[in-house]
Amino acid sequence: MTEKKTAVTGPPLEAGPIDMVTLTIDEQEVTVPRGTTLLQAAQGAGTEVPHYCYHPGLSSPAMCRMCLVEVEGAPKLLPSCTTTVADGQVVRTESDDATRMRRGVLEFYLLNHPLDCPICDQSGECDLQDFVFAEGREHGRGRDAKRVLGRDDFGGDVLFYGDRCVMCTRCVRFMNEVEENPLLTVVDRGNRSVIDTFFDEGLEQAEWGGNVVDICPVGALVSKDFLYKARAWDLEHTASVCPNCSQGCNIDLHTRDNLVHRIKPRTNPDVNGHWICDYGRATYEWLNRGDRLEAPVVRAGGRNTAMGWTASLEALKGRIDALADGLGKGSVKAVVSPFWSNEDLGAVARLIETLGGGSIVFRSPRADAEVALKGFEGLARRKDLTPNARGAELLGYERVGDDAGQGGLDELADHDGVVLVLGDALDDLPEGTAKNAALVVYFGAYTSLALISADFQFPITTFAEQEGTFTNLDGRVQRFWPALSAPGAARPAWLVLGALSGALRDEAGPSRADQAFALVAQAVESYEGMDYETIGAEGVQSNASAPVRGD
């Protein structure tokens, strides 16, 4: 008895009636939209057909011959990546003819493929390894010496090992079709074919060239930055959002030994497809910095003293209570960083409201120009080089400073009220900034010379060490999860600020990130009805044009 499923994969559909097709794949009845390929239909039904040249973000040349399947009534095996479904088709992906064909194709691939698995960065993530292990020959029959092509520097972050290449041409098609910057090509023909650059023009001229490493199904294209760093099976993968511009690309953080070793794109058709830019891919070392704040620091008698959380927060509450009579509306000036989450930024507003009100500003570095991925509409390395500037704007915060993300804080020098800084180390300002303020509090991940004399310094976690959300330039709210353990006593800013606000209001602060987001959703009309469950792994579009509640 066959089981009926409706596959969710297939070609983009235009508005109007959907023409559905029903067929049978490996004795399982499947219903998919007309125009779907057999390979996509099989994937939607839970059957993975081995393939090399096919990639969902590229054209299908049907040249690797790995995805051949048996279709009842067809005179020969058909490539499933280009053959579309038809009513009543009976498809067998595991028939004797199909498996025998794949075994033969794999044997040809292995004739010249080197035994590099012990040193290859792709080992553990290699399709060739998996396919051969699953259904390849136990022993090779080749007697001739393998061809040797050596290693070639393609420019940028990419190295090419020609010996390992299976000529799937994914890299060439990506540069031609998606980046639309044809820097790679196939040179020569037949068994002499090889991927190459054009003379001295390599991938150093590309802005998205690192994606060819991601889509290479074997170890032919590897990252110089990641070369010999770690084995794939030693890395932990955590779903996250790229923090390096306002596009909000979905990524995975690959970590080991509590360090980020690389960033890889995570598929999201509505934001970045399968791709990320080279700038975002390479800008992660700041997450591994060693100059972290690891314990609360309280300044008294001209000296900084490390204290525990309870004692330091009680001391801060005591200072605030002592200043209570002098704190009026507008007495607090806050500077926040859009590298921190909605939950963190929202907790600042709640605290300042508790203290009687004040102004909140943020600074955001900007690139000279936007770098678009021409073959994927709507995807670009944006000019705003922070992940949550839109979130700060929706909370009603004012952008100040120049395009480099500096300046705009002249008022801090003469302010005699409370100065609160979240995440911005004020590196462009001199030591002793805000020396006239009655109280200076710094919530930061990294040490700050400008705030070394702050009355209180509290260690907080980066986005990679906590759960939270960013809002991209289009108003899409997206979740990220903790990939690293927090150093020392560092805690999420929303937790610390929430505890302080709760103590001042004589109520409990949020103890979980979803509770902190719920408070933000109550304050910002654009987030109305949102919670972590509805946001999910791919995010939810907010009504970004809605007015912000409150002052």
The DSSP string of 307-329 is --HHHHHHHHHHHHHHHGGG--T
Position 142 scores a pLDDT of: 85
DSSP letter at 484 equals: S
- Nearest CA-CA partner of 293 in 420, 423, 445, 425: 445
CB 4, CB 31: distance < 8 Å: yes
Does 306 score more than 90 pLDDT?
yes
**Dihedral of alpha carbons 503, 504, 508, 513, sign:** negative
Instruction: Give the Cα-Cα-Cα angle 531, 532, 535 (nearest 5 degrees).
Output: 85
Strands 28-33 and 20-25, bridge-based pairing? antiparallel
3-state helix, strand, coil in the chain (%, to 5): 25, 25, 50
Tokens standing for residue 13: 């559909």
Q: In what order do the strands lie in the sheet with 28-33?
A: 4-6, 28-33, 20-25, 90-92, 68-71, 78-79
Residues 6+ apart with CB under 8 A from 91: 23, 24, 25, 26, 38, 41, 42, 69, 70, 71, 72, 80
pLDDT tops 50 at residue 550: no
pLDDT of residue 192: 86
Alpha helical stretches, state H, 136-222: 170-173, 211-215
Our measurement of the distance from residue 351's CA atom to the centroid of its chain's CA atoms, rounded to an integer in Å, reads: 30
- Eight-class DSSP state of 485: P
Helix (H) or strand (E) holding 381: strand 380-381
Q: What percent of the chain has pLDDT over 70?
A: 95
For residue 397, give the DSSP letter.
Answer: P
- Cite the DSSP H helix spans in 303-418: 309-323, 342-354, 389-394
What's the token pair of residue 550? Answer: 């409150």
Is residue 85 predicted with pLDDT exceeding 60? yes
What is the pLDDT, as a whole number, of residue 191?
Answer: 82
Question: Are 442 and 457 in contact, with CB atoms under 8 Å apart?
Answer: yes
Q: What is the DSSP string of 97-125?
A: HHHHHHHHHHHHHHHH----TTT-TTTTS
pLDDT in the model for residue 1: 40
Distance CA 504, CA 488 (A): 26
Element (H, E) at 500: helix 493-505
pLDDT tens for 117-141 read: 999 999 999 999 999 999 999 888 8
Distance, CA of 27 to CA of 18 (rounded, Å): 24
Provide CB contacts within 8 A for 61, sequence distance 6+: 53, 169, 173
Domains and CATH numbers, the chain: 4-94 (3.10.20.740), 113-234 (3.30.70.20), 297-465+485-528 (3.40.50.740)
What pLDDT was estimated at residue 479? 98
**Strand segments (E) across 398-495:** 398-399, 418-422, 439-444, 456-459, 468-471, 476-480
Q: Given a cut of 50, is residue 549 above it in pLDDT? A: no
- For 166-186, the pLDDT digits (tens) are 999 999 999 999 999 999 999
Residue 1 makes CB contacts below 8 A (sequence gap 6+) with: none
Sign of CA dihedral 449, 451, 455, 460: negative
pLDDT digits (tens, 9 = 90+) for 210-246: 999 999 999 999 999 999 999 999 999 999 999 999 9
Distance CA 458, CA 298 (A): 9
**pLDDT band at residue 18 using 50, 70 and 90 as cut-offs:** confident
Residue 296: which region, alpha, beta or left (left: phi > 0; alpha: psi -120 to 50)? beta
Q: Mark 445-461 as b/e (b = at least 16 C-beta within 10 Å).
A: bbbbebbebbbbbbbbb
pLDDT at 323 over 80: yes
At 404-420, the pLDDT tens digits run 999 999 989 889 899 99
Give the model confidence (pLDDT) of 335-368 as tens digits: 999 999 999 999 999 999 999 899 999 999 999 9
Q: What is the mean pLDDT of residues 253-257?
A: 98
Confidence of residue 16 (pLDDT cuts 50, 70, 90): low
CA-closest candidate to residue 240, choices 232, 251, 255: 251
